[in-house]
């Protein structure tokens, strides 16, 4: 059976190894992974282990009825329950609306106030969030989150003394919304803003000794040192991989090295970055360095921008699939509020909103990045992948097409578009897209860069009947990657299914089985190769293993039926064919329903004979079960019933007393 590949995404840069590193500032590399999903499935592939892909409507209001979703809820309990429901669905804007209504009904309830703050900040309604937190602070009812928002507002206004006073009077608890580590980072930038650089550096150096926090503190120390012109100390802090193993850290280190007139070292740093092609900003820096230009340091231009970096760093640490902490989005929004021009903050917020299923809010942020020219290809590739997994194929395709238009020389953009088209069985459209990808990949110095595109284009070519070109692509991919079981399996199955080069196809599949002995799709291919070659008894065992591994697959069960028939187990064959019919889904494009019905009606032998006589194809209408009889004429209307009889009683029944 032919497998397909997960959407090819070159996700950008290598992520830091330690969890405490600012993961939000980089996109972890995503190798083009191979899966055992059958080619005929047009749906988006499975999400990573431990997560569930969201549908297009998860966590979102029905667009057909926005007024009903946002209607005021009467009573005191109603707004609270509506707010809780919206918050549970990560539907931040309605949650904020209902929490505000609940707070008006019960202004003394601190829980409601905090719920309102969470929803307001998550929805990006920072003006209302600041006003609410200010009220709580002035009334001495400030929660951890209210205190944090108040500090952010003071920092934004340059009231560093106020920030320091707030930290002294209301320090965060270890389990609170901020915690001592975040407090320490805020304190350091506030000290720098207040003109106490020595104290700021001492605070960060002390934090760098905190277990598990060294990478974050070293990164912040480097930014603080560089912001006052101490590039030697900044470069020393950035040498640690956990401090600079992400996009922000790489950018800072390269700029610092350039300021120290060490462009050659800066170029080496960039040349060591994986997927450099997906980060035009880094490529542009390399070109400027190679031309002898001294790069300015602009990662952080002020203490406010430094504090924004802190929040983005903490938000990135908390970002992670289904287990993403709600605070991640809050921190991203606070960073965005402090520095609206900071692309990393806006990008993090957009990605978190998208992962929460809030696609409309996320698209607003992505549009803002696009308008400013700050939309990074690596992040866009990850976004396209996320949209595809969420079942938003049209949005994913539109984003991929925009990516090819904005960065036409980026092979990964063309691969992403090609994979989307192929996933939706639009194979003819996918071929020229893969052509564009290969034109660019084959210009690189690494020949291995082309194998995945060759394999993917081979699938599209094979599915459009261009077998010679498809075979050439598969064989070229195998020359580059001779141990790739999916390529071996696909080419071998393609030959076997077309009844050509059976011995060669069998050998390829046997090698694939040796590499992946438990892969149900490859076992199906092995069994089908034996079936095509007349080795029916040898086909039974691998086919039964394939069915055990993929009991709900219609084509696998159909194949099992054919093999059982050929070894004389005809009753079991009929059971498998009936099961295949019951399991059929519209996406099962390789499963031939008419052929299964014919086998159940006249048997496999008669079907094979009819196909042989008809050039290998089942004749139109052959062996199909008779159509159900047409409904008879409508019954004449019954005469009026005796009102003394119950409706179900026969006409001659005696009336009930």
What stretch of H or E contains 367? helix 359-372
Q: Calculate what percentage of the chain has a pLDDT beyond 70.
A: 82
pLDDT tens-digit readout, 452-476: 999 999 999 999 999 999 999 999 9
Residue 644 has pLDDT above 50, yes or no: no
Query: SS3 sequence, 175-210?
Result: CCCCCHHHHHHHHHHHHHHCCCHHHHHHHHHHHCCC
SS3 category, 623? coil
Lowest mean pLDDT among 69-78, 200-209, 440-449, 535-544: 69-78
Residues in the chain: 657
pLDDT tens-digit readout, 588-623: 988 999 999 999 999 999 999 999 999 989 999 999
Q: How far apart are CA 310 and CA 155, in angstroms?
A: 13
> What is the pTM assigned to this prediction?
0.69
Q: What is the mean pLDDT of the chain?
A: 83
SS3 category, 34? strand
**Phi then psi dihedrals of residue 3, to 5 deg:** -90, 165
SS3 category, 9? coil
- DSSP for 43-100 reads SPPPPSTT--PPPTTTTS--TT-HHHHT----SSHHHHHHHHHHHHTT-HHHHHHHHH
pLDDT tens-digit readout, 238-284: 998 888 888 889 999 999 999 999 999 999 999 988 777 778 788 88
pLDDT-based confidence at residue 320 (cuts at 50, 70, 90): low
Q: What is the pLDDT of residue 39?
A: 25
Q: What is the pLDDT of residue 434?
A: 98
Lowest mean pLDDT among 61-65, 132-136, 188-192, 258-262: 61-65
pLDDT-based confidence at residue 75 (cuts at 50, 70, 90): low
Q: What is the pLDDT of residue 652?
A: 34
Phi-psi region of 139 (alpha: psi -120 to 50; beta: other; left: phi over 0): alpha
Give me the residues paired with residue 38 across strands: 3
Q: How far apart are CA 13 and CA 379, in angstroms?
A: 10
Asked whether the CA dihedral 547, 550, 551, 555 is positive or negative, the reply is: negative
Residues 414 and 434: beta-carbon distance below 8 Å: yes
pLDDT-based confidence at residue 5 (cuts at 50, 70, 90): very low
Residue 54 has pLDDT above 90, yes or no: no
Q: What is the pLDDT of residue 260?
A: 96
SS3 category, 4? strand
Residue 577 has pLDDT above 60, yes or no: yes
- Give the alpha-carbon dihedral of 126, 129, 130, 136, to 10 degrees: -170
What is the average per-residue pLDDT within 189-199?
A: 97
β strands within 283-408, DSSP E: none
């Amino acid at each position: 059976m032919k497998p397909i590949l997960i959407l090819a995404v070159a996700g950008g840069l290598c992520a830091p190894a330690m969890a405490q590193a600012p993961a939000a500032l980089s996109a972890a590399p995503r190798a083009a992974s191979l899966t055992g999903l059958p080619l005929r499935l047009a749906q988006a592939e499975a999400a990573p282990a431990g997560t569930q892909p969201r549908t297009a409507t998860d966590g979102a209001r029905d667009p057909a009825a926005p007024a009903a979703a946002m209607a005021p809820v009467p009573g005191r309990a109603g707004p609270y329950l509506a707010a809780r429901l919206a918050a549970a669905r990560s539907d931040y804007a309605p949650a904020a609306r209902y929490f505000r209504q609940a707070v008006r009904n019960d202004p003394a309830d601190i829980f409601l106030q905090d719920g309102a703050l969470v929803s307001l900040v998550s929805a990006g309604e920072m003006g209302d969030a600041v006003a609410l937190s200010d009220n709580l602070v002035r009334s001495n009812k400030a929660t951890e989150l209210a205190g944090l928002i108040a500090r952010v507002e003071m920092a934004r206004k340059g009231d560093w003394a106020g920030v320091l006073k707030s930290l002294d009077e209301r320090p965060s608890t270890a389990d609170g919304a901020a915690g001592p580590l975040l407090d320490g980072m805020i304190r350091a930038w506030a000290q720098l803003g207040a003109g106490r650089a020595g104290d700021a550096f001492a605070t960060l150096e002390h934090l760098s000794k905190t277990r598990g926090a060294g990478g974050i503190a070293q990164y912040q120390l480097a930014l603080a040192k560089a912001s006052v012109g101490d590039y030697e100390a900044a470069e020393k802090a950035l040498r640690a991989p956990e401090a600079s193993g992400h996009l922000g850290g790489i950018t800072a280190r390269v700029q610092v090295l350039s300021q120290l007139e060490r462009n050659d070292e800066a170029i080496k740093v960039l040349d060591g970055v994986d997927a450099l092609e997906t980060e035009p900003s880094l490529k542009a820096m390399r070109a400027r360095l190679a031309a002898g230009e001294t790069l300015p340091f602009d990662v952080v231009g002020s203490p406010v921008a430094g504090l924004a970096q802190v929040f983005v760093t903490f938000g990135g640490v908390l970002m992670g699939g289904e287990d993403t902490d709600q605070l991640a989005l809050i921190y991203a929004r606070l960073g965005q509020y402090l520095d609206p021009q900071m692309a990393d903050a806006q990008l993090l917020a957009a990605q978190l909103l998208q992962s929460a299923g809030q696609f409309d809010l996320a698209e607003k942020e992505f549009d803002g990045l696009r308008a400013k020219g700050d939309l990074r290809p690596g992040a866009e590739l990850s976004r396209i992948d996320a949209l595809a997994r969420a079942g938003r194929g049209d949005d994913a395709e539109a984003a991929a097409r925009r990516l090819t238009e904005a960065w036409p020389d980026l092979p990964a953009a063309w691969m992403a578009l090609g994979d989307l088209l192929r996933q939706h069985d639009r194979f003819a459209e996918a071929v020229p897209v893969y052509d564009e990808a290969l034109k660019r990949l084959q210009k690189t110095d690494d020949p291995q860069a082309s194998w995945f595109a060759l394999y993917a284009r081979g699938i599209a070519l094979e599915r459009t009947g261009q077998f010679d070109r498809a075979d050439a692509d598969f064989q070229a991919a195998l020359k580059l990657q001779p141990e790739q079981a999916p390529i071996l399996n696909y080419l071998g199955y393609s030959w076997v299914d077309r009844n050509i080069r059976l011995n060669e196809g069998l050998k390829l599949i046997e090698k694939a089985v040796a590499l992946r002995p438990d892969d149900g799709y490859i076992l199906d291919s092995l069994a089908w190769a034996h079936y095509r070659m007349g080795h029916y008894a040898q086909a039974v065992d691998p086919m039964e293993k394939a069915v055990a591994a993929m009991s709900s697959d219609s084509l696998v069960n159909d194949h099992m039926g054919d093999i059982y028939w050929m070894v004389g187990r005809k009753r079991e064959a009929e059971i498998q064919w009936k099961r295949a019919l019951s399991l059929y889904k519209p996406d099962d494009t390789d499963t031939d329903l008419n052929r299964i019905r014919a086998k159940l009606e006249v048997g496999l032998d008669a079907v094979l004979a009819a196909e042989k006589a008809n050039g290998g194809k089942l004749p139109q209408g052959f062996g199909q079960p008779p159509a159900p009889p047409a409904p008879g004429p409508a019954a004449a209307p019954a005469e009026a019933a005796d009102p003394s009889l119950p409706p179900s009683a026969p006409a001659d029944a005696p009336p009930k007393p």
